[in-house]
Amino acid sequence: MMKNITAFFLSLAMAVFIVGTLYAEEQPAAAPAATPAAPEAAAAAAPAPPAVTGSAAMSILSHYIFRGYELSRNSVVLQPSVTINYYGFSVNAWSNIDTSEHATQNFTPVSESTRGGAHNNFDETDLTLTYTYNIDKLALTGGFIYYGTQYAPETEEIFISGTYDMIAHPTLAIYRDVHHYPGTYFNLSFSQSIPVFKMVNGDATIDLGAGFGFEAGSSNFWDSYVANKGYIGSHYSAPHDGNVKAGLTLPLTKMFSVQPVLQYWFPLSGDASRTITDASGVHGFNPNGNLKDIFLGGINLTFSF
């Protein structure tokens, strides 16, 4: 069933890309508006913003990285998504398609033992529901995420975040797993878009960002590893992952944009990067496998409506 859901959203995203791009290119240029008799007339004539907006996107990337965990290797991943917005509410469906699955220190393909070797797979489909409320320059968002993972037990999170509208747009988000992996993940992130040159359909922008995470496990799943004894130590709790990224957004039409992107992920602490080895006698504190330095590259395609 999950593969059918993923295939549906992939097909929908691609259809919206193609139809929307052709629609945007075929629209005639708008005729110059008549000069109104007074500013009030212009305000009255202005159309109301649409109640429903959204986007369809496709990311084509060299890795799938989630909170520093390497969930793909030596392959290209495709990540289609569809988002619908309505007066502060938002619904998003997102999927990951690994074109050639290989095991990593954090990931084991679910069918590796039965099929053997590398193969492609729809290995995750997530659904996110959010509501955003604005207070002056502060945007507060709360939501729910369902993680439909094939390579690990499915789980759910609730979260809250706050973004302040100023330079670097600082955002603090707190996620709480409420099902399979009880624990709390904190993330502080920054983002800034800088116009660099004008195009026919808008400004091209350099998009910069950075994020820093802290993981606080609160169940036996997060027990740390003790050499020769297994997972019996205290729950993993440490500065976890960091990343910096840069992209170049090019608006090819009024609604369709292309963004080449580069990203660098790295562990934030020795606990996050420590490798588990029975022979060393050293504790390995990360039960999901160690984090390491990873460079990621790719391209994001977005059609907004």
Where exactly are the structural domains of the chain? 2-25+48-304
Q: How many CB atoms lie within 10 A of CB 208?
A: 15
Query: Is the whole model's pTM more than 0.85, yes or no?
Result: no
Q: What is the pLDDT of residues 108-137, one digit of tens each?
A: 887 654 445 556 688 999 999 999 999 999
3-state secondary structure of 71: coil
Q: What is the pLDDT of residues 14-72, one digit of tens each?
A: 444 443 443 344 444 333 333 444 444 344 455 666 789 999 999 999 999 999 999 99
| Integer Cα distance of 119 and 62 in angstroms | 16
> Higher confidence at residue 241 or residue 14?
241
Mean pLDDT along residues 158-175: 98
Task: Say what the pLDDT of residue 139 is.
Answer: 98
> Cα 81 to the chain's mean position, in Å?
10
**Helix residue ranges, H only, 39-178:** 39-45, 112-115
pLDDT surpasses 70 at 151: yes
Domain 2-25+48-304 has CATH 3.40.350.10: no
Task: Say what the pLDDT of residue 136 is.
Answer: 96
